[in-house]
Structure 1
Amino acid sequence: MAKIKRRGESGAAKNYVTRNQALKKLQISLSDFRRLCILKGIYPREPLNKKRANKGSSAPASFYYHKDIQYLLHEPLLVKFREHKTFAKKLARALGRGEWALAKNLEDAKPVARLDHLVKERYPTFTLALQDLQDPLNLVHLFSTLPTNPIPGKTLVPSEIIAECSRLISEWKVWAIRTHSLRKVFLGIKGVYYECDVPGQGGEMVRVRWLEGYEFQQYVPTDVDFRILLTFLDLYRTLVSFVLFKLYTEENLVYPPPLDVELDEQGESVGAFRLVERKAGAEGADGTGQVSKKAVRKAIKGIKASGIDADVEMDEDAEVDEEKDEDEDFVERPSKAQEVEDVAPAPLTTYNSLLATSSTPSTSRQSLLFSPYTFYLSRETSSRTWEFVIRALGGKVVTSLTAPSPDNASNADSITHVIVDRPMTAESMREMEAGRKWVWIQPQWVADCVNRQKIISAEGYHPGQLLPPHLSPWDGEGDVYRPWLEDQEKAAIEAADEAAENDEAEQDALDESEDESGSESESESASYPPALLASARDPTNATLLHAAELEAETNGTSHTTFRTQLKAATKANASKVTAPAPAKGEEDLRRIMMSNKKSKLYEKMQYSNRLKAEEKEKLEAKREAIEKKKRKGLKV
């Protein structure tokens, strides 16, 4: 006998639960439920049939997977939320009764929820964490630039959170400077875009891109729910801290790096941090005198890369340790006491002195692009941006001509380039040089050199000059332009010229007996430049279009005129080419992608078209028969 299914015990009604049902099951408030879903990465789902999922009700509701809610029942944060709710009740009661000593004791014993287990749960490997690092860095950058008290008498974001975000960003930049991992810079409308190559597990390089807003007074809107943003920020701060601890440990450095208060008060941003090495003896040895596993792996890779046939003998225990190290998850963050015990008494040095001893294998001549130069940043330039970019590529920075700098380059004679972002006269520049030879440039020159991976000419970048187009180095990603590379431009123009020459040769080989309209269209097309003609014959080719735009810019043609000519040439070329009929295979694929209703409608349309075609053929046959009889003089 078949079992009778009851309503709501199978199908969509069992797989989905509404938000109200989830709140009753978890026994938490709506705000805590939202925070828990953000931290755990659970979001609403859209069932195929909402009425079935809601057990026959058509009322609007938000649905979640039943398994996700069951998964939340075992979350340790639920206990912390309930403890915090109890703490809030006791604190309110103590304040209402005026029991200040009890309120102080309660505040000291306030329950704090840690999110370390969530980071390990959502990012089981280090590479996965690096691949998802863009949003955390963007949000941490945003909060690091917020004002501490934008509205008098109302605190939207605590000042401690803003200070911690600023510290995390500075530590991230110090690591990028130490390893010379910065690869690309783009000055966009929203801010400055950076991209770094970060080593993941197994030597895999992960590209991390983030956005940093420009330095100006931030406008904080009052209609934004900062509680949701702060919930995301709690998770992202923990994730960034884990990533930085792992990266600093891989570089044999202590995390967090200590801050030099004197340099910080002098206005130094990333230069105020000091780097403390964890190794005390020879290179590759940690504080206990043992050789680190990272140094062993680097030595083995060096032997393999050199091509020497050498037998590297390792114990079984070492092999097991190496495999375990490659596949290990996030490293447990040690306590402060453990850090002090593990760190050998190494001298404190600034990151500038450790710059040349980077252990990152990606360090090359391109990553040390500005190593021979010393830059002076004028007061109107963003020192936070250009100090990071220049030092990340091996250069030295001077922010004052009189005060000493962390690079000990206070002498103005060592300056090679001066970055100025305002118009200047020749007299003022000669007065500042005082007989020295400096290269005066605008900030865009630095970004263009980084993106093109070479030192370009300073012509066109002098103060007050109209700068060349600053194009994005990322090709075809979002609303960005194509990369500005001379080799690709020349190759595209040569290909367009060659295609235009071939087309002209084919036109000369055609029969000369054409009508006047055809000859006029040919004369008009011949008047267009060759790259524009090539782009008109293949409108989908982005390379030919880019070459045509460069050709128009070289010829001094405005953008409106260029677009008009390209549209006319494309239209003239399309009128000569007839579109081929779709093949039978393509038609079958279209039929497969249709729904049942559309497929039946399509069959009816095809049937009526066939009937019309047959009727037309019959009428044409009758007309031909009548014409034949008329020509023969027969009576119709």
Structure 2
Amino acid sequence: MAKIKKRGESGAAKNYITRTQALKKLQISLSDFRRLCILKGIYPREPTNKKKANKGSSAPASFYYSKDILYLLHEPLLAKFREHKTFAKKLARALGRGEWALAKGLEERKPLARLDHLVKERYPTFKQALADLNDPLSLLSLFERLPRDPVPGKTQVPTEVTAECGKLLAEWKIWAIRTHALRKVFLSIKGVYYECEVPAGRSGETVNVRWLEPWEFKQTVPADVDFRILLTFLDLYRTLTSFVLFKLYTDENLVYPPQLDVKLDAEGEGIGRFKLVERAPDAQAATADGEKKITKKDVKKSIRTIAHSAAAGGMQVDEEEEDVLVKDEPAAEEEFTYHPSKHDTDASDPSNAPLPTYTSLLANTASDGPATAEKGYNIFAPYTFYLSRETSSRTWEFVIRAFGGKVITTPSLNELSTVPEIASQITHILLDRPMDPATMRTLQGTHKWTWVQPQWVADCANKRTVLPAGEGSGYEPGGTLPPHVSPWDEEGRDDRPWLGTEASAAAAAIEGEASEDEDAEMDTAEAGDELTPALRAAAENPEDSTLVHQAELEAEAAGVDHAAFKKQLAGAAKKGAAASGSKAPAAGGDEDLRKIMMTGKKQRLYEKMQYSNNERRQESILTLPVTSQTDKLASKRQAIEKRKKKGGK
């Protein structure tokens, strides 16, 4: 005999658990449960049958996977939450009794929950962490712009949190400037979109990280936003960003976190208040012989650098050769040369050149990799920009420095000519307000400055080339700027680096021919059919007041007089009546084809609409004058009498 299954012990009732049951099992409050689910990445689920999942009850409830809740039972943060609850009770009791010394001691020993293990769990590899870095940077930028002054009666984000967000963003931007990782910039209403190309490992893979940074306007903290949820996400994102930055700085042989210049910070300096310092760990400590010790990481980095630089000459350094060089690290003076085989036709070919020696590798350990000027990532290197006070220095300093340029923000524009040592270095003036040419010549004096609007910098960065900025280009102060197309949009045909000049020109020609063909087809259709769809529908059904009203509204919007509209409607109705014999079967066939293409649900809806239209037509007939109603009833009576006579005979 088969075992009888009991209700609620299998199926959906066992696989799902309600939120109330989860709180009882975990023994935590609702706020702690929400925070724990956000940090662990556990979200509510929608069962197929809610009644079965809720053991026969139809009451509304939120469901979670039972395995997810069992997974949370072993989370170390649960112990921290309970410790914090105990701490809060003790602190409240001490404050209520006026025991200030005890309260101060409790505050110093406040339990803090670390999220390092969560980052390692959710992002096992560095590439996965980079792929999920878009939202953290955007949220950090949002909180960094929140006001830091306390607002009475409103939820206020702690000042320490906003300061930490600004610090992490500055560290990220400094790294992007150092490595020239910035690729694209887009100015939108919401703010500025950036995209950086970040190396994700030894194999040369890269991950594009894109984030949004709001404009430097005064932000108003909304009262209806639950900042506790946002701060929970922010705690995880801050930890993740710190992990990623440590990895990136270490790969560049830099000390993390970078040193803060107190003087520049007090003067209100932006990302320039941090200074990058070369890392000097045990790997570069002096040995007993007074020589520096080189680690495997330095050698591998040098091999990758030389492999990139030698790719143009045909030399290849594969992973096996790289492993040999790393394993033979103690043999500092041994040279690994390439011996031409008998199948080689030319020993003087660059591909047959000897492999780099260990000594030559050490000489390139400080190299920044392949030249960025060839790829267009260092286009502003010869130029020095002066940022006017109305421009966003935070935005344009980052973009200009990331592409190799230099930035000057002081003194003011009117006092710039009084400081010749600074004025002589400037090549471009970034101005975001209209200015008279005579005034520009007066301020410029004998110096040769190029006056441009900020959009010129963004367009040059996206095109990876220096665009013309003279008169007539639209980038001069007060000029009409060209369209700022999104570099990620397919419509931005000019920003396709994978297409050459000839290929892009051919693609543009093809698109032009296609657009001309479409325009010709439109002109032909308009010449052959002058009636609008609404007017044609009203002419086919003149009794439908809705269609006639719609056609009348379209004619009014097009500027057609009411009398002219009546004539058009009457003429279209006559043409339709004259050709009704020939066009009726085609219309019916088109209607059948339309119904065939519809789903069953849409077919039923279409039939209901047709039925409703017929009912409205019948109602409109009943509202005719009394004389016409009498005539219609009389004709019906005559028809009935004729049928009776025929039946009697």
User: TM-score, structure 2 length as denominator?
Assistant: 0.68
Could you say what secondary structure the match of 1:64 adopts?
A: strand
TM-aligned CA distance change 1:72 to 1:381, over 3 Å = same
- 2:394 matched residue in structure 1: 384
Could you say what secondary structure the match of 2:211 adopts?
A: strand
Provide the rounded CA distance (Å) in 2 between the counterparts of 1:443 and 1:262: 29
Among 375, 385, 397, the alignment partner of 2:407 is 397
Gaps of 5+ in 1: 321-356, 508-517, 526-559, 562-577, 582-589, 602-636
- 1:277 matched residue in structure 2: 278
Could you say what secondary structure the match of 1:414 adopts?
A: coil
- 2:477 matched residue in structure 1: 463
Amino acid at match of 2:126: F
TM-aligned CA distance change 1:370 to 1:283, over 3 Å = farther
Matches within 5 A, 1:240-389: 240-279=241-280, 289-299=293-303, 302-303=306-307, 305=311, 306-308=313-315, 312=321, 314=323, 318=327, 359-361=368-370, 363-365=372-374, 366-389=376-399
Could you say what secondary structure the match of 2:260 adopts?
A: coil
Could you say what secondary structure the match of 1:411 adopts?
A: helix
Describe the superposition over 1:601-623 as per-residue Cα deviations: whole angstroms up to 9, x where unpaired.
Answer: 9xxxxxxxxxxxxxxxxxxxxxx
Provide the rounded CA distance (Å) in 2 between the counterparts of 1:483 and 1:285: 55
Matches within 5 A, 1:221-620: 221-279=222-280, 289-299=293-303, 302-303=306-307, 305=311, 306-308=313-315, 312=321, 314=323, 318=327, 359-361=368-370, 363-365=372-374, 366-401=376-411, 411-458=422-469, 459-476=473-490, 482-485=492-495, 490-496=505-511, 498=513, 521=524, 524=527
- 1:114 matched residue in structure 2: 114
Could you say what secondary structure the match of 1:312 adopts?
A: helix
Amino acid at match of 2:398: F
TM-aligned CA distance change 1:126 to 1:294, over 3 Å = farther
Describe the superposition over 1:486-509 as per-residue Cα deviations: whole angstroms up to 9, x where unpaired.
Answer: 96874344225556899999x9xx
- 1:585 matched residue in structure 2: none
Shift of 1:266: 2.6
Quote the RMSD (CA, aligned, Å): 4.0
1:15 matched to 2:24: no
Note if contact 1:371-1:396 (Cα within 8 Å) is conserved in structure 2. yes
TM-aligned CA distance change 1:241 to 1:499, over 3 Å = closer
Shift of 1:318: 4.0
Amino acid at match of 2:164: E
Could you say what secondary structure the match of 1:192 adopts?
A: strand
TM-aligned CA distance change 1:598 to 1:7, over 3 Å = farther
Provide the rounded CA distance (Å) in 2 between the counterparts of 1:282 and 1:438: 47
Amino acid at match of 2:460: C
Note if contact 1:285-1:291 (Cα within 8 Å) is conserved in structure 2. no
- 1:67 matched residue in structure 2: 67
- 1:159 matched residue in structure 2: 159
Describe the superposition over 1:195-254 as per-residue Cα deviations: whole angstroms up to 9, x where unpaired.
Answer: 000011232110000000001111111111111111010000000000001000000000
Shift of 1:121: 0.4
Note if contact 1:181-1:362 (Cα within 8 Å) is conserved in structure 2. no
- 2:613 matched residue in structure 1: none
Note if contact 1:402-1:410 (Cα within 8 Å) is conserved in structure 2. no
Shift of 1:125: 0.4
Note if contact 1:45-1:64 (Cα within 8 Å) is conserved in structure 2. yes
Describe the superposition over 1:577-615 as per-residue Cα deviations: whole angstroms up to 9, x where unpaired.
Answer: x9xx9xxxxxxxx99xx9xx989x9xxxxxxxxxxxxxx
Could you say what secondary structure the match of 2:208 adopts?
A: strand
Note if contact 2:185-2:194 (Cα within 8 Å) is conserved in structure 1. yes
1:215 matched to 2:203: no
Note if contact 1:424-1:464 (Cα within 8 Å) is conserved in structure 2. yes
Shift of 1:104: 1.1
Provide the rounded CA distance (Å) in 1 between the counterparts of 2:517 and 2:81: 74
Amino acid at match of 2:306: G
TM-aligned CA distance change 1:223 to 1:319, over 3 Å = farther
Matches within 5 A, 1:159-178: 159-178=159-178
* Pair member with larger Rg: 2
Provide the rounded CA distance (Å) in 2 between the counterparts of 1:462 and 1:66: 64
Provide the rounded CA distance (Å) in 1 between the counterparts of 2:399 and 2:184: 9
Describe the superposition over 1:451-494 as per-residue Cα deviations: whole angstroms up to 9, x where unpaired.
Answer: 11111111211111111111100025xxxx54544968743442
Provide the rounded CA distance (Å) in 2 between the counterparts of 1:85 and 1:282: 45
- 1:78 matched residue in structure 2: 78
Note if contact 1:284-1:295 (Cα within 8 Å) is conserved in structure 2. no
Amino acid at match of 1:413: S
Provide the rounded CA distance (Å) in 1 between the counterparts of 2:457 and 2:198: 22
Shift of 1:402: 7.5
Amino acid at match of 1:195: E
Shift of 1:290: 2.1
Note if contact 2:284-2:292 (Cα within 8 Å) is conserved in structure 1. no
Provide the rounded CA distance (Å) in 2 between the counterparts of 1:295 and 1:265: 41
Shift of 1:101: 1.3
Provide the rounded CA distance (Å) in 1 between the counterparts of 2:78 and 2:100: 29
Gaps of 5+ in 2: 330-365, 529-556, 559-585, 590-596, 605-649
Describe the superposition over 1:374-416 as per-residue Cα deviations: whole angstroms up to 9, x where unpaired.
Answer: 10000100000000000000000010148999xx996211111
* Identity value in percent: 62
- Report the count of equivalent residues: 488
Provide the rounded CA distance (Å) in 1 between the counterparts of 2:316 and 2:478: 60
Amino acid at match of 2:506: A
Amino acid at match of 1:415: I
Provide the rounded CA distance (Å) in 2 between the counterparts of 1:157 and 1:456: 43
Amino acid at match of 2:468: S
TM-aligned CA distance change 1:451 to 1:143, over 3 Å = same
- 2:128 matched residue in structure 1: 128
Provide the rounded CA distance (Å) in 1 between the counterparts of 2:55 and 2:172: 51
Amino acid at match of 2:66: H
Matches within 5 A, 1:38-117: 38-117=38-117
Shift of 1:170: 0.5
TM-aligned CA distance change 1:58 to 1:409, over 3 Å = farther
